[in-house]
Amino acid sequence: MMRRFDATLSLDFYSEAEITEITVAMIKAQGITANEETVKTISRCGRGTCVLPDQITSSLVKIAQRREKKTVNKEDVLHALRGLQAYPNGLSITEKELLKRCISAPLKPMALALGLGVESKAISRACAFLSGMTSTKGEATPYIHITGSGIKTTNFGERYLASAAKDKFAI
């Protein structure tokens, strides 16, 4: 943008409350309804943007049409996430794999990058996200802990994986 328009813009990520508000509007615009918990499940996938919530909402419309219903629920959202190859809270396959591989022993970022076949900056982004996780109440619930010996999955991360497996996500 700076080269093209000779302007500098500072863009901030949306808060979860803003994503929730936008998600409600997207759902209404699509002619479907969802309860508050379902909307929050979608919003938590946003990670500061509305890209994944928009994709989820589009999938929900198709799900609702196929099932001939107007109201979608959390199970429909989980079905949409599986179809989009995403995980609850908006985790990517790389982030899920990082959590899984770091349960038994800490691993170095470069070893993870090589093992997962991704660039080291993808591991850095995943670590930044996973170490900054918070609960719906705003409490710190990091999924990983980073030390000099490497990256280790925390109890919160292990519970996340167990919950995702219970919700029928491939772990």
Closest CA to 110 of 74, 171, 151: 151
Estimate the share of the chain in helix, then strand, then coil, as percent rounded to the nearest 5.
Answer: 55, 10, 35
Cα-only R_g, the chain? 18
Q: What pLDDT score was predicted for residue 42?
A: 95
Write down the pTM of the prediction.
Answer: 0.84
Start-to-end CA distance of the chain, whole Å, equals 40
Domains and CATH numbers, the chain: 16-86 (1.10.8.60), 90-166 (1.10.10.10)
For residues 154 and 137, give the distance between their C-alpha atoms in angstroms, rounded to a whole number.
Answer: 19
Q: Are 103 and 158 within 8 A, CB to CB?
A: yes
Q: What pLDDT tens digit does each residue of the chain (171 aa) get?
A: 456 667 766 778 898 899 999 999 999 999 999 999 999 999 999 988 999 999 999 999 999 999 999 999 999 999 999 999 999 999 999 999 999 999 999 999 999 999 999 999 999 999 999 999 888 788 899 999 999 999 999 999 999 999 999 999 998
